[in-house]
């Protein structure tokens, strides 16, 4: 919680941790989180029930979310859902009897150029044909994708151990930065009356050359090991990168 400006700011990351531990958010966990963050259990429940990345009922070891939004729909998403229901022997929004798979429809997974697409435990696959789906299910059941698809609830296998920039007071501003408006016309983070921060006129290439910004195209993301505790042999898995309206963010 020390990573955040105030305890309640840790609510969503802590909910993700609880879900990673138990597979879903138990009532006990939500009550405990409320005590931990000094907020009511109702506030915890209100957040947990608002975001559809959080589950308050048990889900399968593999959560399969098939996008049925426009791009995927016109590329056969509903046919894929029908096929998935037959293959798994369940309807959408239910779980197989052996607890292996939960199937759900989802709205825009932000992988529209690979329609129709799906995620398994927030990892992306697309475009997916019926045959691809059957192979995917076989591979998941046999554990052949364990390196790529971690257990349900695992968002990110790299843990952040340093605080947010919000803990640093903005230039020219005294006290708690959260108590004053962040945006006042002089740009994000500028205090009223304070001089605007200097504009960085360097090109992205120049910043890359000076080691201040990773190259965007074709670059392998670098993990700052001084700021991250790497869990598991995969190490550099940074979790999902998109998720529409879902509650996201690493923990
Ligand atoms: S419409 Fe399916 S990912 Fe966007």
Q: Which domain holds residue 131?
A: 62-142
Q: Is 19 in the pocket of ligand 1 (CB under 6 A)?
A: no
Q: Is 111 in the pocket of ligand 1 (CB under 6 A)?
A: yes
One domain for residues 76 and 107: yes
- Strand 62-67 to 123-125 pairing: unpaired
- Strand 123-125 to 118-120 pairing: antiparallel
Percentage with pLDDT > 70 across the chain: 65
Q: Is 71 in the pocket of ligand 1 (CB under 6 A)?
A: yes
66 forms beta bridges with 105, 118
d(CA 45, CA 53): 13
Which of 76, 78, 112, 123 is the best mutation target for the ligand 1 pocket, counting ligand atoms within 8 Å of the beta carbon and taking the most?
112
One domain for residues 79 and 50: no
Which of 65, 75, 80, 117 is the best mutation target for the ligand 1 pocket, counting ligand atoms within 8 Å of the beta carbon and taking the most?
117
pLDDT of residue 109: 95
In a domain, residue 78? The reply is: yes
Q: Is 67 in the pocket of ligand 1 (CB under 6 A)?
A: yes
Q: Is 149 in the pocket of ligand 1 (CB under 6 A)?
A: no
One domain for residues 124 and 73: yes
In a domain, residue 182? The reply is: yes
In a domain, residue 213? The reply is: no
In a domain, residue 137? The reply is: yes
- Whether 176 has a pLDDT exceeding 80, the answer reads no
pLDDT of residue 151: 86
One domain for residues 71 and 135: yes
For residue 143, report the distance from its CA to the centre of ligand 1, in Å: 27
One domain for residues 23 and 44: yes
Mean pLDDT of 46-66: 95
Domain boundary among 57, 80, 95: 57
Domain boundary among 114, 142, 170: 142
- Model confidence at 58, in pLDDT bands (50, 70, 90)? very high
* pTM assigned to the model: 0.66
Residue in 147, 150, 132 with CA at minimum distance from that of residue 240: 150
- Whether 126 has a pLDDT exceeding 90, the answer reads yes
In a domain, residue 90? The reply is: yes
In a domain, residue 149? The reply is: no
Phi, psi (degrees; rounded to nearest 5) at 160: -80, 135
Domain count, the chain: 3
One domain for residues 126 and 66: yes
- Whether 7 has a pLDDT exceeding 80, the answer reads yes
One domain for residues 116 and 68: yes
pLDDT of residue 125: 97
One domain for residues 66 and 138: yes
Q: Which atom of ligand 1 is nearest to the CA of 68?
A: 2
The domain spanning residue 81 has which CATH number?
3.40.30.10
In a domain, residue 202? The reply is: no
Q: Is 42 in the pocket of ligand 1 (CB under 6 A)?
A: no
One domain for residues 78 and 105: yes
In a domain, residue 12? The reply is: yes
One domain for residues 110 and 134: yes
Mark residue 88 as left, alpha or beta (left: phi above 0; alpha: psi -120 to 50; beta: remaining): alpha
The domain spanning residue 37 has which CATH number?
1.10.10.1590
For residue 77, report the distance from its CA to the centre of ligand 1, in Å: 9
Q: Give, rounded to a whole angstrom, the gap between the first and last alpha carbons of the chain.
A: 11
Mark residue 134 as left, alpha or beta (left: phi above 0; alpha: psi -120 to 50; beta: remaining): alpha
For residue 107, report the distance from its CA to the centre of ligand 1, in Å: 7
One domain for residues 33 and 87: no
One domain for residues 124 and 83: yes
pLDDT of residue 183: 43
Mean pLDDT of 158-171: 61
């Amino acid at each position: 919680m020390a990573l955040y400006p105030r305890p309640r700011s840790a609510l969503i990351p802590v909910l993700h941790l609880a879900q990673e531990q138990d597979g879903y958010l138990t009532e006990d966990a939500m009550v405990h989180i409320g005590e931990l963050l000094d907020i009511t259990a109702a506030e915890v429940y209100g957040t947990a029930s608002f975001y559809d990345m959080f589950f308050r009922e048990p889900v399968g070891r593999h959560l399969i979310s098939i996008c049925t939004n426009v791009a995927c729909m016109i590329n056969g998403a509903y046919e894929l859902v029908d096929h998935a229901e037959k293959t798994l022997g369940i309807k959408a929004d239910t779980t197989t009897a052996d607890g292996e798979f939960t199937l759900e429809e989802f709205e825009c997974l932000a992988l529209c150029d690979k329609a129709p697409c799906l995620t398994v435990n927030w990892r992306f696959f697309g475009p997916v044909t019926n045959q691809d789906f059957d192979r995917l299910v076989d591979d998941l059941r046999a554990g052949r994708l364990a390196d790529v698809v971690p257990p349900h609830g695992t968002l990110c296998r790299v843990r952040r151990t340093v605080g947010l920039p919000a803990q640093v007071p903005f230039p020219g501003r005294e006290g708690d930065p959260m108590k004053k408006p962040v945006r006042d016309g002089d740009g994000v983070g500028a205090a009223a009356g304070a001089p605007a921060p200097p504009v960085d006129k360097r090109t992205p290439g120049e910043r890359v050359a000076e080691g201040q910004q990773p190259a965007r195209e074709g670059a392998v993301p670098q993990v700052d090991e001084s700021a991250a505790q790497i869990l598991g042999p995969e190490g550099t898995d940074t979790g999902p990168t998109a998720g529409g309206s879902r509650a996201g963010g690493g923990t």
